[in-house]
Structure 1
Amino acid sequence: MTLVQMQPRPEDVSPAHTTVAEAMDAAGPQVCDDMSVEVALAVMAAARTGRLVVCDQDGQCTGLVTQTELAAVRDSSDYTDRVRLRDILGDHGSFTSPVTTMAEAEHAMRTRQLGALPVVDEQGSALGILALSH
């Protein structure tokens, strides 16, 4: 086992210059966009998480869904067991780059009223999730 020593961030580094890569959380469970709402809720329960990164057949991130959103879809009168995650993503196609500054990302998230945002690389693969602290 190799020990990795973490270096504290210098105190003179401004949050405006901190990048998303320095603040993001692990991406967590990633699921395919053809998954049903019920299965996605079961995956969330098993993983003990409140959100999932959704990817297409090529592994590119297409969005993020939360337990609250999925429960609302499941409890709606229009719900059937044929509803797939791709059907409900809507405006969840927002992403950020790991090199975006925290100030820029936070501004974009607050403007669009997003609690969390997938962080993707140049190929569209999910690297992590940036979540606003309340």
Structure 2
Amino acid sequence: MTSYPTTDRLTVANALESHDFQITDDRTIGHANEIFGSAHVPYLLVRDHDGRCEGLLTRIGMSPFLSRSPYSERTLVGATAHQRGPFAWPTMSLAVAALAMQTKHLTVWPVTDDDGYLLGVITSARVTDLLTPA
């Protein structure tokens, strides 16, 4: 018989999902746009030059640069208005994470370890599913 933790004991680790599509902050908006076009993903996770999580980039965050084609080839991802930290951590209470996501209007939130390296993401849909009693 499988036992599940009660909702008051759930942590972010229980809701953690992987996400493979990442980009470094020193790549151009044009390169990010190519990834969005070929991978058909709603967001890209942004890493800094050391590999630590820098944030999350969406097409909306890139739109001011895409409307002016020459800027998309010169503007770096790090210069865009993308979601930045603080990020969730695996031991955080899932109820607290849900409240933070609701307050910040986040549908996706990166999860990092103590050193800032990406572990995965949590989504509002997954959090809601886990916190909703059966």
Q: In structure 2, what is the Cα distance between the partners aligned to 1:42 and 1:9?
A: 44
Q: Give the corresponding residue for 1:33.
A: 25
Are positions 1:57 and 2:49 aligned together?
yes
Q: Give the corresponding residue for 1:16.
A: 8
CA shift, 1:84, in A, is: 1.1
Q: In structure 1, what is the Cα distance between the partners aligned to 2:13 and 2:7?
A: 13
Normalised to the residue count of structure 1, the TM-score between the two structures is 0.80
Are positions 1:68 and 2:57 aligned together?
no
How much identity, in percent, do the aligned residues show?
29
Could you tell me which runs of 5 or more consecutive residues in structure 1 were left unpaired when the two chains were aligned. Answer: 1-6
| C-alpha spacing 1:9/1:32, structure 2 compared with 1 (3 Å) | farther
Are positions 1:96 and 2:88 aligned together?
yes
Could you tell me which runs of 5 or more consecutive residues in structure 2 were left unpaired when the two chains were aligned. Answer: 129-134
SS of the aligned residue for 1:26 comes to: coil
1:16-50 residue CA offsets vs partner (Å, 9 max, x unmatched) = 32111111210321211011112112112322311
Amino acid of the structure 2 residue aligned with 1:57: H
CA shift, 1:71, in A, is: 3.3
Aligned-residue Cα RMSD (Å) equals 2.4
Normalised to the residue count of structure 2, the TM-score between the two structures is 0.80
CA shift, 1:82, in A, is: 1.6
| C-alpha spacing 1:59/1:16, structure 2 compared with 1 (3 Å) | same
SS of the aligned residue for 1:62 comes to: strand
8 Å CA contact 1:63, 1:89 repeated in 2 = no
Q: In structure 1, what is the Cα distance between the partners aligned to 2:2 and 2:37?
A: 34
Q: In structure 1, what is the Cα distance between the partners aligned to 2:111 and 2:11?
A: 11
* Aligned pair partner of 1:112 in 100, 104, 120: 104
CA shift, 1:90, in A, is: 5.1
Q: In structure 1, what is the Cα distance between the partners aligned to 2:24 and 2:50?
A: 9
